[in-house]
């Protein structure tokens, strides 16, 4: 039975770490909500399927060719999906180019600032907290 005390120490450390991560997760949720509302306010209705669109003529790997039309800023959950994809750096270039194509190039600042806050700043703090 003395081997199980080591597992108790490990599980106690993990539960203490999870308890302390609540603040970081709360900050990330607030950032998600704020950026999603801002994205809907700025870009709602900007990304639309062109009439008579055929994905066979689109550039390979583009937003249009991948049929990402459901990933837009028209509702809260679609916006959260885009923010989540950008946070994980999953096809972030596709979303960045699509936003520039359907809007202005200044609209890229929205996604780049989201990437910086969510990925570089918050996730770096969480990783630093875990390592500490």
Specify whether the CB–CB gap between 28 and 118 falls below 8 A.
Answer: yes
Domain span at residue 55 reads: 21-131
Asked if residue 14 is part of any domain, the answer here is no
Q: Which CATH number do you get for residue 124?
A: 1.10.287
pLDDT in tens, 67-113: 788 888 999 999 999 999 998 888 888 888 888 888 888 889 999 99
pLDDT over threshold 90, residue 13: no
Asked if residue 28 is part of any domain, the answer here is yes
Asked if residue 13 is part of any domain, the answer here is no
46: its two tokens? 């900007």
pLDDT in tens, 44-58: 988 888 787 777 777
Asked if residue 15 is part of any domain, the answer here is no
130: Cα separation from own chain's centroid = 21
Specify whether the CB–CB gap between 103 and 46 falls below 8 A.
Answer: yes
Asked if residue 117 is part of any domain, the answer here is yes
Asked if residue 2 is part of any domain, the answer here is no
Sign of the CA dihedral 87, 89, 91, 92? Answer: positive
Asked if residue 57 is part of any domain, the answer here is yes
What is the pLDDT, as a whole number, of residue 2?
60
The mean pLDDT of the chain is: 84
| Domain tally, the chain | 1
Using CA atoms, how far residue 18 sits from 30, 42, 129, 132, in Å, is 18, 35, 11, 13
The pTM of this model reads 0.79
């Amino acid at each position: 039975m003395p081997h199980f005390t080591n597992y108790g120490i490990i599980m106690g450390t993990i539960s203490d770490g999870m308890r302390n991560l609540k603040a970081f997760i709360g900050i990330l949720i607030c950032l998600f909500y704020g950026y999603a509302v801002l994205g809907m306010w700025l870009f709602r209705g900007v990304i639309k399927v062109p009439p008579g669109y055929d994905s066979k003529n689109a550039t390979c790997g583009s937003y249009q060719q991948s049929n990402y039309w459901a990933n837009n800023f028209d509702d809260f959950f679609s916006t959260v999906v885009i923010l989540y994809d950008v946070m994980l750096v999953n096809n972030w270039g596709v979303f960045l180019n699509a936003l520039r194509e359907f809007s202005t190039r200044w609209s890229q600042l929205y996604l780049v600032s989201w990437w910086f806050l969510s990925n570089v700043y918050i996730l770096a703090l969480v990783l630093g907290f875990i390592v500490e």
